[in-house]
Amino acid sequence: MNKILFILGVFALCFSAFSLQAITNYAEVYPNSLQHIQFKGVFSGDRHGKFEGDLMAILEDGSEWKVHPKSRATFESWSMGDIVRVKVRTDWYWFKREHKFQLYNHTKGQTVNVMLTKHIDYPSALKITSVETYFKSYGFVPHTKYVFIDGELKPVTKYSYEPTNPRKVIMLSDGTTWVIKDNLNDFQIGSRVYLGAQGVPNVFYDFVLISGDQREAIWTWARPQK
């Protein structure tokens, strides 16, 4: 009996690992996460009048990415036709970050920090076509209000059993379906988005979905709907 349970356990573990690998292999799940550099250009400045003269990477899908000045020397060594992938910067930063993303160059094995300045043009642009919210669990949620007690204003906290850990299932205009877990209110029907991939093996939420552009861009971790 114990031998049977051991075999079943090993099978379940292997199946789980296989399933995780299947939905996190970004090149197979979403081939468009790999792009060629089509052109290199010069940025004319953002809507706030900043960054004029910085270099830009224009990818084959039409998206445009302004390169951080400190990454300029590295980017200048890149060539048109190099294969790149958009990912999120995960290094710690004290202030609000303006260049929130990175281009990883698979051809050169190098990374530059970038800002999304232009989404893919219509009609190829990715848009959210449907949204569904669900909750992963239930828990006791505190609700605090101030009331007068013995002539003093004091906090009173009560707990209610409510759904927690919200997630959104979104469908994009290319027919793909994704689960996101952060900044849910910034991803609504009609929003134009860009999809990148971190490229970290066996990480459940290995993709990144970007809404908005320039320094106002918002992102969330994403995974393909199983």
Residue 125 has pLDDT above 80, yes or no: yes
The reported pLDDT for the residue numbered 26 is 80
How many domains is the chain built from? 2
Q: Determine the Cα–Cα distance for residues 4 and 105; give it in Å rounded to an integer.
A: 47
How far is Cα 123 from Cα 208, in angstroms, rounded to an integer?
A: 21
> At which of 83, 118, 153 does a domain end?
118
The per-residue pLDDT of the chain, averaged, comes to 86
In a domain, 171, yes or no: yes
Same domain, 41 and 108: yes
Instruction: Encode burial over 34-45: b for 16+ CB neighbours within 10 A, e otherwise.
Output: bbebeeeeebee
Do 39 and 105 reside in the same domain of the chain? yes
In this predicted structure, what is the pLDDT of residue 196? Answer: 95
pLDDT in tens, 140-151: 888 899 988 888
pLDDT tier, 216 (very low <50, low <70, confident <90, very high otherwise): very high
| 210: nearest Cα among 155, 151, 170, 152 | 170
- pLDDT in the model for residue 21: 54
In a domain, residue 3? The reply is: no
Query: Is residue 148 situated within a structural domain?
Result: yes
Is residue 18 a part of any domain in this protein? no
Q: How confident is the model over 73-80, as a mean pLDDT?
A: 97
Residue 25's pLDDT is: 77
pLDDT at 16: 41
Q: What's the pLDDT at 14? A: 39
In a domain, 91, yes or no: yes
User: Can you tell me the mean pLDDT for 113-137?
Assistant: 91
**Is the domain of 173 the same as that of 112?**
no
Q: Do 77 and 132 belong to one domain?
A: no
Give yes or no: residues 71 and 133 share one domain.
no
- pLDDT tens digits, one per residue of 79-117: 999 999 999 998 877 567 789 999 999 999 999 999 999
Statement to judge: residues 109 and 148 lie in one domain: no
- Looking at residue 151, the DSSP 8-state letter turns out to be T
pLDDT digits (tens, 9 = 90+) for 159-210: 988 877 788 999 999 999 999 988 999 999 999 999 999 988 778 889 999 9
pLDDT at site 15: 35
